[in-house]
Amino acid sequence: MAARTSSLVHPKYKTKYSVKNWAQYERGLRRRGDLMIWFNEDVMESWVPRGKRRRGAQRCYSDLAIETALTLRILFHLPLRQTEGFVASILGLMDLDLRSPDHSTLSRRARQLDVQLSAVGRGKSIHLIVDSTGLQIVGQGPWANAKHGKKGTREWRKLHIGVDENGVIVAEKLTDSTIDDASVVKDLVAQIPDDKKITCFTADGAFDQNSIYKTFTELGATVVVPPVNTTTLSKARTRAAKDRNRSINRMLQLRSPRSQAIRN
């Protein structure tokens, strides 16, 4: 029987992390077990449908109650029957005179539930934060490796996401794995509504390119991108080059021995 591995990355190339702040690390682990749930008064009043009665059997639970139960189900990865019991236990611990929707009702109402997502961050300015992640297409690659001990074909896709300062996704694009991250930025910017002005752009070192500084300098936005280690100052006199040189000088300043001594 072939041994199952939890990672496709060879141990030689895996990044090793060293925990130094053990007290803070342990507090973070304990906080993962904390459970804090509260019900707004509006939720308790809207748990049972109100208003005009209709013909036939009346609903015992509002859409808000169904949405709350299904949200808890997704959050804790629960089957429908366990969701029913979990919600009932929460209502009981909070001493609320409310009933939990049964699993049959959750299954039936979930197909027709109209979830209303409220828009966040309706201001006229936006702080755009961009990053990308790899998506593996499930195929015979890992299976062939585990079954026959040989490398199979495996395809990847890249999902580029742009979020605002509130964490709301405002732009996205799916590309091949060979596409450079910085080359997709213009497509992401094009998805931003015309009534919103990008005031700041933040990304990692993969976006440290002159084209990025040029794009957002023309929009009047500040670029917050860490320069790569091998970067050099540009002799160009354009505004984009000056902004990038400013980031490089700031990086060199933080790397200086005097700066490190002050931080320590």
Q: Which DSSP string do the residues of 69-116 spell out, in sequence order?
A: HHHHHHHHT--HHHHHHHHHHHHHHTT---PPPPHHHHHHHHTT----
In the numeric block, the tokens 């749930």 are attached to 37
Query: Do 177 and 216 fall within a single domain?
Result: yes
Cα angle 74, 67, 70; round to 5: 25
Cross-sheet strand order for the sheet of 169-176 = 169-176, 156-163, 125-136, 197-202, 222-224
Q: Which of 110, 134, 163 is the last residue of a domain?
A: 110
Are 130 and 237 members of one domain?
A: yes
Q: Is the per-residue pLDDT at 261 higher than 70? A: no
pLDDT of residue 4: 45
Total domain count, the chain: 2
| Residue 11 resides in a domain | no
Confidence (pTM): 0.55
88 with 131, same domain: the answer is: no
Domain that holds residue 188: 125-263
Per-residue pLDDT, 263: 42
Q: What is the pLDDT of residue 177?
A: 83
In a shared domain, residues 241 and 167? yes
Residue 5 confidence (pLDDT): 45
Distance, CA of 119 to CA of 141 (rounded, Å): 40
Return the percentage of the chain with pLDDT > 90, whole number: 28
**What pLDDT, in 10s, does the model give residues 210-223?**
888 888 988 888 88
Alpha carbon distance 198, 129 (integer Å): 10
What is the DSSP pairing of strand 156-163 with strand 222-224?
unpaired
Task: Indicate whether 240 and 170 sit together in one domain.
Answer: yes
Residue pLDDT, tens place only, 125-138: 889 999 998 887 65
* Domain assignment present for 117: no
* Interatomic CA distance for residues 226 and 204, integer angstroms: 6
Distances (CA, A) of 229 to 129, 208, 223: 22, 11, 18
Give φ, ψ of 239 to 5 degrees.
-65, -35
| Helical ranges in 96-238 per DSSP H | 103-110, 140-148, 185-190, 210-218
- Which of 64, 79, 110 is the C-terminal boundary of a domain? 110
pLDDT class of 264 with cuts at 50, 70, 90: very low
Residue 119: inside a domain, yes or no? no
50-108 pLDDT per residue, tens: 766 677 677 889 999 999 999 999 989 999 999 999 999 999 988 989 999 999 999 99
Would you mind telling me the total number of residues written for the chain in this entry?
Answer: 264
In a domain, 15, yes or no: no
Among residues 240, 250, 224, 245, the alpha carbon closest in space to that of 130 is found at: 224
